[in-house]
A and B are shown apart, each in its own frame.
Chain A
Amino acid sequence: MKKLTCWLITGYFILQLAVPGYFVYHHYDTLYTGESYKFDVAPYDPYDPFRGRYVSLSTTLSLYSSDGEYALLGKDSAGYAVINEWVSQKPTDKPYVKNLILNRYYMNEKMAPEAERIYRDLDLDKEKIYLLVKVKNGDYVIEGLYINDIPIEQYITGA
């Protein structure tokens, strides 16, 4: 009985490590080998009791399909993401996303309110704020939030 429990505990521990391990592998793979897209965003500053402060984002591009369709991604001349087409079949040779949700960017608790304030003061006719996202095989990972091509953390600290 004790031997069985020992095997079960070992299996449980491996599973516990495998799940976050898989998340890490999967995200890194997309981050390093995926294609970059910029998404126009508007941030504000809420709080998650476990994962800390983040800026909540809303994208100007609608990326959700209630029919579960795939969005074929393209880029405009400035590198911003555009949707070329919605298709019902999973694409095999073109970059795509399905119901892409870009709603969180985690930040230091002092920086998150500052990010919201900076966004309010931005002159969006002259300045730009965007999210850089890596996309690969329908998966995506947020690389960073940028203001005028500077990572927001650097923009805030002036570093």
Chain B
Amino acid sequence: MNNIEWIRKEARQWAEEGIITPEQQELIQMRYPINKAGSPLLSFFAVIGSLLVGAGIILVFATNWWRLPAAIKIMLAFLPLLGAQAVCLYTFKKKWDSVSFREGSAVFLSLSFFAALALIGQVFHTPSNLESYILVCILFTLPGVYLFRAKAAMAIYIIGAIYIGSSWPVFVSFILTALVLPFFYLELKGSTHKAVLNYLLFLLSCMVLNTLIHTVLDELYYTVTALETALICGLAMLLLDALFRKIGTVYFFTAAKLFSILIITFTALIAALDFSYRDSISAEALIMTVIITAAYLALRYTAFTGLAAADLFAGTAVILMLSSRFAGAAATLLLMALGIFYIIRGSRTLTLSNLNFGMLLVILVIGIRFFDSSLDLLGRGIIFIILGAAFLGINLFISRKRKELLK
């Protein structure tokens, strides 16, 4: 039960008890209508599920089953792709109106193509570098974005484009951006809400920063990484959101703020995986972070409002940037703290989306550390037992609270 369902239930009870009139109850219910568009959570979990299955297939293939003959490996490479195509056909024929199915199947299709090319490249020891491989894969993701109107598949495309853009000539970034811009136009035209702006804003901010780094600030070309660019853009959008809130009542950065929160979370997850943050952070990225944070803090301070979730994410971005080569450990702790924060908030307000976001963060951190072979087995075992017990306790607490409320 979320806040809206709760207030509607309360209003019904007040009317029954004579605290308010039935007309007043109706007015309250009109003010807080039930969202009939379906739960975005379902779409979210369809995407997450597809991502996990696709990423899992890639990992299984990357293990390199060297005893298997090449012919069998090649057949295996096509299996997920054919499976994903079958799922997409089913979606097209039977579930075209379901956003969850369209998003999920397009993501699965994209990642299956990634997996197929990866395994074939592995079997024949293809000499192409990672950027070329990702470029081919995202170009084959793009038709799926348009045909299935899948924003999640577009996210894969954008992440790939940003990765390529950080090391290839700047015109490649422009072309890749131009290829996806019609999708924004189509989405904006067909959409009654402006949620799609979050992608557009983020993409454009990353592209602009990339272009700036490549052209105006050419000396930064080799120092500022794609991850730092993403983090700075996320932080900058939080700043813009705070600025718009201060300037006027009309602002459309709410969606952008949500996306920047997701980007900071995603960056923290990448840092927790410890791929790119082994080396110390660049001084230039640090200066940009400090400037944006100072402006953000100044705005937030003059706004005289209480601590908001956005502040936590801004803090996360800054700590992550400052923690330099310890970013892997810092990201783990930050994500765990954010996860627990959302679990507590979700349990207090009984908001399922908050609760699940928190749970998801914690599960992801656990997953990352589970596969971390640099920690010894005993240490991992003890940490997992403690965390498992904590989660069981939280679950017990929430279920009791829900029962009390329903009584």
Q: Hey, which bits of chain A sit against chain B, CB under 8 A?
A: 5-6, 8-9, 12-13, 15-17, 19-20, 23-24, 27, 31, 48-54, 101-109, 111, 141-142, 153
Contact = CB atoms under 8 A, between A and B. Distances in A.
Interface residues of B, number: 39
B64 A50 contact: no
Contact of A49 (B124, B125, B275): B275
Contacts of A23: 117, 120, 124, 126
A18 B147 CA distance: 19
Contact of B114 (A6, A9, A50, A106): A50
B120 to A, nearest CB: 5
B85 A13 contact: yes
B66 A108 contact: yes
Contact of A17 (B78, B126, B147): B78
Nearest to A153: B66
A56 to B, nearest CB: 10
Interface string B56-69: 00100111111000
B88 interface: yes
A19 B140 contact: yes
Contacts of B61: 51-52
B235 to A, nearest CB: 26
B81 A16 contact: yes
28 contacts: A8-B143, A8-B147, A9-B92, A12-B143, A12-B147, A13-B85, A15-B143, A17-B78, A17-B81, A19-B117, A19-B140, A20-B116, A23-B117, A23-B124, A24-B74, A24-B120, A27-B124, A49-B62, A49-B275, A50-B133, A51-B62, A51-B121, A52-B118, A53-B64, A101-B127, A106-B64, A109-B64, A153-B66
Contacts of B88: 9, 13
B385 interface: no
Interface string B346-379: 0000000000000000000000000000000000
Nearest to B62: A52
A129 B124 CA distance: 19
Contact of B118 (A5, A6, A51, A108): A51
Interface string B104-141: 00000100011011111111111100100100100010
B144 interface: yes
B77 interface: yes
A108 B82 CA distance: 26
Nearest to B133: A50
Nearest to B130: A48
Given A107-B64, A153-B66, A51 B92 contact: no
A54 B117 CA distance: 16
A52 B92 contact: no
Given A20-B78, A27-B123, A51-B121, 14 more contacts: A13-B85, A15-B140, A23-B124, A27-B124, A31-B124, A48-B130, A52-B64, A53-B64, A102-B127, A104-B125, A106-B123, A106-B125, A111-B66, A153-B66
Contacts of B116: 20
Interface string B27-68: 000000000000000000000000000000010011111100
